[in-house]
């Protein structure tokens, strides 16, 4: 079918393929398990790889989950996908190094095969007959070279394809093996490439730490510190041009049990925010906007802003990049910043 043709067109780039099972919130746990199993079975037939492909399950948009029972799974899968995308630069480096190692080993094996074939050729008479004999005897020659050099069997070329290529060649014109170049190749494979490979995780670790520092570059806030976050892992509208109706959210806020300073923490705010069934990535943005003083807590004004943003999102609108000025008027912003 069409999907199979698309996958087949991507052959040779299997490591670059990411498979996503989207809109997984539309089904129940049992249905999701069956769908996932059927998908994995189909992919096994289409991809034809010994290793099972990773499938990311989620609902990759910013609308509320239709079925909230898989929230934890969907959030974890989304986080894994983002980490995978973040590691793409490192993966590209690793693939290129692995490809270089593979090509180097194949070149070394190829040089031993060509040298052996040349050495077996007669000096003057019977060259054509000898060449045909060598081509027909390739399996035994490969085994002989493998025993003598210790080269892995997987580094030898496909016998049928190699035989067809050799039929177009004149073995007597092959150049003798340059042992100095083979020794240099061995040194590169055994010493230089492993040392280069060992540097990649270190470089990536530094990159990851820098990435996380930039991501978390805020003062406090329950959604920007893995140890305190309650969630772990625009358009110009009338609602943006009017003040936040704090009185509408007063009762709900008091039911959450604010502390002596009149604030609730991230754990207290988590449940009423998740009741919206919005994805955690969206709730993180809402928290970042609502927690104006970045202390990881919400007072009645900040809580009202958070609830108002949730309503905005549930009504199908985009979140603002920053809070409208009218929402901040009369909120004693200087008190927030002290």
Looking at residue 51, what is its pLDDT? 66
The percent of the chain in helix, strand and coil, each rounded to the nearest 5, is 65, 5, 35
Q: Answer for the pair 223, 229: CB distance below 8 angstroms, yes or no.
A: yes
Residue 23, classed as helix, strand or coil, is coil
Residue with tokens 């958070």: 306
Q: Answer for the pair 172, 127: CB distance below 8 angstroms, yes or no.
A: yes
pLDDT class of 28 with cuts at 50, 70, 90: confident
pLDDT at 285 over 80: yes
**What's this model's pTM, rounded to 2 decimal places?**
0.44
DSSP 61: S
Q: Which tokens go with 23?
A: 């809109």
For 310-329, the pLDDT digits (tens) are 988 887 777 888 888 888 87
**Distance of CA 47 to CAs 14, 51, 58, 145, 283, Å?**
8, 10, 22, 34, 37
Cα(310)–Cα(192) distance, integer angstroms: 55
DSSP 216: T
Cα(47)–Cα(192) distance, integer angstroms: 34
Residue 16, classed as helix, strand or coil, is helix
Residue 56, classed as helix, strand or coil, is strand
For 88-97, the pLDDT digits (tens) are 777 778 778 8
Mean pLDDT, the chain, rounded, equals 79
Cα(262)–Cα(240) distance, integer angstroms: 26
Instruction: Please provide residue 232's backbone torsions phi and psi, each rounded to the nearest 5 degrees.
Output: 60, -150
Mean pLDDT of 278-283: 83
Mean pLDDT of 186-208: 70
Q: Which tokens go with 252?
A: 């709900």
Residue with tokens 């008091």: 254
Q: How far is CA 182 from the centre of its chain?
A: 37
Cα(241)–Cα(327) distance, integer angstroms: 8
Residue with tokens 């040779």: 12
Phi-psi region of 65 (alpha: psi -120 to 50; beta: other; left: phi over 0): beta
pLDDT class of 238 with cuts at 50, 70, 90: low
Q: How far is CA 64 from the centre of its chain?
A: 24
């Amino acid at each position: 079918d069409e999907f199979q043709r698309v996958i087949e067109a991507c052959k040779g780039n299997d490591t670059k393929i990411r498979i996503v099972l989207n809109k997984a919130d539309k089904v129940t746990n049992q249905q999701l398990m069956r769908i996932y199993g059927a998908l994995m079975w189909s992919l096994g037939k289409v991809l034809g790889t010994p290793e099972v492909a990773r499938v990311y399950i989620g609902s990759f948009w910013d609308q509320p989950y239709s079925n909230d029972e898989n929230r934890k799974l969907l959030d974890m899968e989304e986080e894994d996908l983002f980490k995978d995308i973040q590691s793409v630069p490192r993966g590209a480096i690793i693939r290129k190094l692995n490809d270089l190692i593979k090509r180097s080993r194949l070149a070394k094996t190829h040089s031993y095969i060509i040298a052996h074939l040349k050495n077996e050729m007669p000096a003057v008479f019977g060259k054509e007959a000898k060449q045909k004999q060598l081509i027909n005897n390739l399996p035994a020659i490969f085994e002989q070279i493998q025993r003598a050099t210790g080269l892995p069997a997987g580094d030898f070329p496909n016998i049928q394809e190699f035989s067809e290529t050799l039929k177009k060649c004149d073995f007597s014109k092959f150049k003798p093996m340059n042992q100095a170049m083979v020794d240099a190749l061995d040194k590169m494979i055994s010493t230089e490439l492993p040392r280069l490979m060992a540097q990649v995780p270190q470089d990536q670790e530094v990159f990851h730490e820098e990435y996380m520092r930039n991501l978390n570059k805020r003062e406090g806030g329950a959604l920007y510190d893995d140890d305190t976050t309650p969630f772990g892992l625009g358009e110009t509208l009338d609602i943006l041009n009017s003040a936040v109706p704090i009185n509408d959210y007063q009762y709900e806020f008091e039911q959450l049990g604010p502390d002596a300073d009149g604030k609730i923490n991230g754990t207290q705010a988590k449940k009423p925010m998740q009741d919206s069934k919005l994805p955690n990535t969206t709730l993180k943005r809402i928290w970042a906007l609502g927690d104006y003083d970045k202390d990881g807590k919400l007072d009645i004004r900040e809580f009202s802003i958070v609830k108002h943003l949730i309503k905005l999102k549930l009504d199908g609108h985009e979140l603002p990049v920053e809070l409208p000025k009218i929402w901040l008027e009369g909120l004693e912003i200087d008190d927030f910043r002290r």
